[in-house]
Amino acid sequence: MSLHSLDAKRLLCPLPVIRTQDRVKQLKSGDQLEVSCTDPGVMQDIPAWCRINGHTIINTQENQGVYIIVLEVGKNE
Amino acid sequence: MSEPKKAVALISGGLDSMLAAKTILDQGIHVEGINFFTGFCVEGHTHAIRKKDNEKAKPKRNNALWAAEQLGIKLHIVDVIEEYKDVLLNPKHGYGANLNPCLDCKIFMVNKAKQWIEENGFDFIITGEVVGQRPMSQRRFAMPLVAERSGADDLLLRPLSARNLPETKPEREGWVDRSKLHDFGGRTRRPQIAMAEQFGFIDYAQPAGGCCFLTDKSYSQKLVDLWQARGARDYELDDVMLLKVGRHIRPKPHFKLIIAREEGEGRFMEGYKNDFISLHCSSHTGPLALIDGSPDAADLELAAAIIARYSKGKDEEQVEMAIRTKDGKESRIKTKPLTAEQLPKEWFI
Ligand code: SF4
């Protein structure tokens, strides 16, 4: 398992979701990805994307307008 | 036993694409969704920009993701912003009522889906198109044209109208049962609404004009204005997004103002302060405005008077306006806000 990060700040949905999706494709099952965003819409959209694609949200938090989502990659098939 | 066949469904987030996918899922086919992000999609951007109207308002959602979740299928969102420029700027089949190149857009998307199924080992493509439902891309002649020009040919199945259309390979080969597909046609929405009820799909998205901003008259006018002012038909994603926010006023050919209409837009526009000259009223509450173009000192005075009209000081004899350059230098000027009568209608884009 390894920890990766993705900066999706200043992008508006669905671009942060697309960047997350494209990054997750390169990772292995069990890897974690921390995505930083400024569009509050990601708090809805990234968890929804994870649910339908079999990945797990580990943590979400907001800090001064930056939304940080940590997800764990499920089976990438 | 042979592997189940696999279909990719174009998911826009609207009801028809959901019902088409559901119809095929119910025949035991493995379905995954694909959604193309052109930059003009009604999804996302404006939802993110606009403030929630009130606390009870439903949280803004991405309808394509929502539809996929209802269907229990995976969704692949594909960024086609760059490639889509050629579709919008040079549509071979022209535009619809506004700048919507629907026929070329459909051909483009089905073609992308065709490439996707080849790369991912899928067997066919489904869309929610219904013969005669929309004026341009779903007329009877357009349906075979999309299949042919996209290169998808008989791998393109429209489950909601299939029985009104020639048989496709998935039907011929018995991958799907044609008798269980539908024969919807024309502009009525009744069969879709009945089907939605049957499947328990409630709360689905019902965009008025279509799936993107290009069907919107005022948006299209702003895009044409941008091309005219720049002397070139081109755009970047930032242009596309800024056309979705604010009041756009062009007092002179070489500059226009984008004035935030509410807090959410103002916050979004803050992110562009290093790309544009910006103004706001410093003596009263008022919106943020960006200036697109190359204004001189006299133009900035005019801009200040226009923007002041949208501040709380609009009825004052004089207000103070702060002007910020792209590199952050701020200066202040005093101005008398324009009255409504002094703002010619032709300036509004
Ligand atoms: S409404 Fe927009 S996205 Fe939909 S087919 Fe027409 S041009 Fe394409």
Residues B205 and B113 in one domain: yes
Helix (H, G, I), strand (E, B) or coil at B118: helix
Give the list of residues 6+ apart from residue B287 with CB closer than 8 angstroms, or none: B259, B260, B261, B265, B266, B280, B307, B310, B311
Total domains in the fold of chain A: 1
- B151 and B47 in a single domain? The answer is yes
Q: How far is CA B33 from CA A60, B69, B120, B235, in A?
A: 26, 10, 13, 29
Q: Do B288 and B195 sit in the same domain of this protein? A: no
Residue A48 resides in a domain: yes
B10, B17 Cβ separation under 8 angstroms: yes
- Cα(B119) to centroid of ligand 1, in Å? 25
Of B48, B75, B76, the CB nearest to A41: B48
Cβ neighbours around B94 below 10 Å, total: 10
Size of interface A-B (CB pairs under 8 A): 67
* Residue A77 resides in a domain: no
**For the residues A29-57, what does the mean pLDDT come to?**
95
The structural domain count of chain B equals 2
CB of B142 sitting under 6 A from ligand 1: no
Q: Is the Cβ of B197 closer than 8 Å to some Cβ of chain A?
A: no
Q: Are residue B252 and residue B187 in the same domain, yes or no?
A: no
Ligand 1 and B14: CB distance under 6 A: no
Q: Which residues span the domain enclosing A56?
A: 3-72
Position B176 in a domain: yes
Residue A49 near chain B (CB below 8 Å) = yes
CA distance B244 to chain A (A): 13
pTM to 2 decimals?
Answer: 0.91
So what's the pLDDT on residue A57? 98
Q: Which residue has the higher pLDDT, A76 or B230?
A: B230
Same-domain status, B208 and B249: no
Judged by a CB distance cut-off of 8 A, whether residue B43 touches chain A is: yes
**A49: domain CATH number?**
3.30.110.40
Q: Does residue B222 fall inside a structural domain?
A: no
Of all residues in chain A, the one with the smallest CA distance to B269 is: A10
CA-wise closest residue to B186 among B238, B135, B127, B122: B135
Structural domain harbouring B267: 245-347
The answer to whether B160 and B182 have CB atoms below 8 angstroms apart is yes
B155 part of contact set with chain A, CB < 8 Å: no
Shortest-distance Cα residue to atom 4 of ligand 1: B211
Domain-located, residue B27? yes
Residue A39 covered by a domain: yes
Assign B131 to helix, strand or coil. strand
| A45 chain-B contacts, CB cut-off 8 A | 44, 61-62, 65
Ligand 1 atom nearest to B41, measured from its CA:
3
CA torsion angle B208 B212 B217 B219 (round to 10): 130
Contact B80, A18 (CB under 8 A): no
Q: Does the CB atom of residue B101 touch ligand 1 within 6 A? A: yes
Tokens encoding B32: 């995954």
Cβ-contact A69, A37 below 8 angstroms? yes
Q: State the pLDDT confidence band at A65, using cuts at 50, 70 and 90.
A: confident
Would you state the pLDDT for residue B54?
A: 46
Q: Are residues B169 and B78 in the same domain?
A: yes
Q: What is d(CA B266, CA A41) in angstroms, rounded to the nearest whole number?
A: 17
| Contacts within 8 Å (CB) and 24+ apart, B342-349 | B343/B249, B343/B306, B343/B309, B347/B249, B347/B250, B347/B251, B348/B247, B348/B248, B348/B249, B349/B221, B349/B222, B349/B225, B349/B248, B349/B249, B349/B250, B349/B256
Report the gap between the CA of B63 and the closest CA in chain A (Å): 10
CATH number at residue B161: 3.40.50.620
Q: How far is the CA of B52 from the centre of ligand 1 (A)?
A: 26
Rounded Cα gap, residues B137 and A75, in angstroms: 38
Residues B64, B66: Cα–Cα separation, whole Å? 5
Q: Is B128 in the pocket of ligand 1 (CB under 6 A)?
A: no
Cβ atoms A36, A63 nearer than 8 A: no
Q: Are residues B340 and B269 in the same domain?
A: yes
- Residue of B62, B241, B271 lying closest to A48 (CB–CB): B62
Closest-CA distance, B161 to chain A, in angstroms, reads: 28
Is residue B249 within 8 Å of B257, Cβ to Cβ? yes
Is there a single domain that holds both residue B208 and residue B88? yes
Report the run of H or E that residue A58 belongs to, with start and end: strand A56-63
Q: How far apart are CA A33 and CA A16, in angstroms?
A: 13
Angle between helices B63-71 and A42-53 in degrees, nearest 10: 30
Q: Write out residues in chain B with pLDDT < 50, as ranges.
A: 53-55
Q: Across the interface, do B76 and A13 touch by the CB < 8 Å criterion?
A: no
Beta-carbon count within 10 A of B78 CB = 17
Average pLDDT rounded to a whole number, residues A57-76: 93
- Same structural domain, B78 and B184: yes
Kindly state if the Cβ of B35 falls inside 6 Å of ligand 1. no
* Residue A70 contacts residue A58 (beta carbons within 8 Å): yes
